[in-house]
Structure 1
């Protein structure tokens, strides 16, 4: 790539995501009759707006990379092997178990830290659950396409030596992933960066995005489901301000690390170039 191409691939999809989300938030405010379209709490329509904007931006990132470099889009999904549905299912089951365990531990050691108020089921709750199940997998896949399939190799292209390039790709894509989540809280910013680096390692270790997509889907779906039913029947609070994070995030850090180890162990048992 030309030196400037990674900058385009890192910034344009993220900017499109933000602009599209703001526009959809404005439309949601009109539908809901809200006078604050940028309020942080997630209603069902706002959650839908977030998921759609990220999914579309992920596809845009792939189109931009294939257009600017001529790389086949399939190589951004898995390389040198073909996409493997069995890998996806295997890692999805493992991720779901580990994420569920992590959420359970957080509920025990710090029940108030994720912003939970009280258990409650209402029409809003049901709508949130429907939107989560139907569209959050597309949102998670969109983020993986944007940051692992595109941002990681784009940033790595600035460096010629393979291992330093891998480090640069992981760090830059991880920091970019954290930046778009818009939190200045040290705990949350560090945690988002760790997710970006961890899922990047999963992709590299397995030679494809099945494992990071599986982990991202399990994490986002389960977390949103729990947050929805613990919002006392209302919208899901979304607080990323300073002080919103705390040491309970170390439990989820451990879940990320465990998933990387699981992917590494699974790939070591499989034949093919993704083993090393």
Structure 2
């Protein structure tokens, strides 16, 4: 029940909000969008898309509380407290990782810098990205890793099989919802879901996947904005838009998972050491 409600509601909200914004833009500018839907997204359309997805976070939390009987606090961690410190640390680490990888990509192909420019539309899109993309990315993690993944796992026994099926199932749904039939792009989205799902499992919480998703989307959107046509971005996920170059980003995602594993391993070792050194009465 939780899964179809979330997926249908997310699609319906995006269609309704996007249509309203498109009609307003048409009335103001008098420009008719192409009938094939190939028009680039304006900053205001991006704002509408981000906010319509951001709304799904509280919706997912309410459904998990109402249907799944899971208290809100328990939706963000398992067997430990949710930690703002963890979220901040992972955000900083992943920001360094993303900037390093994209810096290497630019060094290999300097032509990527040729289209970069600033205009009023670009500045507006960057502002919208910084303010609302974190909400969009965090909402997707709350929805897919915090609600859909455990919802799938709740139908499977034993527990080890449930974890595997839930991880794969939620990642497939995440990939399909990005509406791309390009094999490279679809594979990347599915693997992105697998990686953030592994982060949630390893860390027993959503801080790491939320941090990675937020940093990834913000960095990539800011770079896209800088290379956009006055803040208008063409999001093309058709066949041929992906390619072997995406192996770099897949590798980056796997490195992020490894960093989470190393950090959580060290943290648990430290907790065990402190527990031995300072026994309680």
Give the TM-score normalised by structure 1. Answer: 0.90
Structure 1: which 5+ residue stretches go unaligned? 1-7
What CA deviation, in whole Å up to 9, does each residue of 1:112-169 have, x standing for no partner? 89xx871121111011011000111110110001100011111111211121111101
Alpha-carbon separation, structure 2, partners of 1:215 and 1:144: 10
Look up the match of 1:15: 8
**8 Å contact from structure 2 (residues 149, 169) kept in 1:** yes
**8 Å contact from structure 1 (residues 188, 245) kept in 2:** yes
Look up the match of 1:163: 160
**8 Å contact from structure 1 (residues 40, 239) kept in 2:** no
Look up the match of 2:60: 61
Look up the match of 1:195: 192
Look up the match of 1:208: 205
Q: Say what the alpha-carbon RMSD is for the aligned residues.
A: 2.2
Are positions 1:233 and 2:230 aligned together?
Answer: yes
**8 Å contact from structure 1 (residues 105, 251) kept in 2:** no
Alpha-carbon separation, structure 1, partners of 2:151 and 2:110: 40
Look up the match of 2:182: 185
Look up the match of 1:96: 95
Look up the match of 1:249: 246
Alpha-carbon separation, structure 1, partners of 2:252 and 2:245: 12
**8 Å contact from structure 1 (residues 122, 233) kept in 2:** yes
How far is the alpha carbon of 1:216 from its aligned partner? 0.5
Alpha-carbon separation, structure 1, partners of 2:110 and 2:6: 36
Alpha-carbon separation, structure 1, partners of 2:183 and 2:145: 23
How far is the alpha carbon of 1:31 from its aligned partner? 2.1
Q: 2:140 aligns with which of 139, 143, 148?
A: 143
Look up the match of 1:70: 69
How far is the alpha carbon of 1:104 from its aligned partner? 2.5
User: Displaced runs of 4+ in structure 1, greater than 4 A?
Assistant: 37-40, 108-113
* Change in CA separation of 1:85 and 1:243 when aligned onto 2, cut-off 3 Å: same
Q: 1:120 aligns with which of 117, 124, 144?
A: 117
Alpha-carbon separation, structure 1, partners of 2:21 and 2:107: 35
Alpha-carbon separation, structure 1, partners of 2:39 and 2:70: 38
What CA deviation, in whole Å up to 9, does each residue of 1:234-273 have, x standing for no partner? 411201001110111111101110010000100011138x
Alpha-carbon separation, structure 1, partners of 2:185 and 2:123: 28
Alpha-carbon separation, structure 2, partners of 1:234 and 1:128: 5
Structure 2: which 5+ residue stretches go unaligned? 273-281
Matched residue count: 266
* Change in CA separation of 1:155 and 1:268 when aligned onto 2, cut-off 3 Å: same
Give the TM-score normalised by structure 2. Answer: 0.89
* Change in CA separation of 1:262 and 1:225 when aligned onto 2, cut-off 3 Å: same
Larger Rg: 2
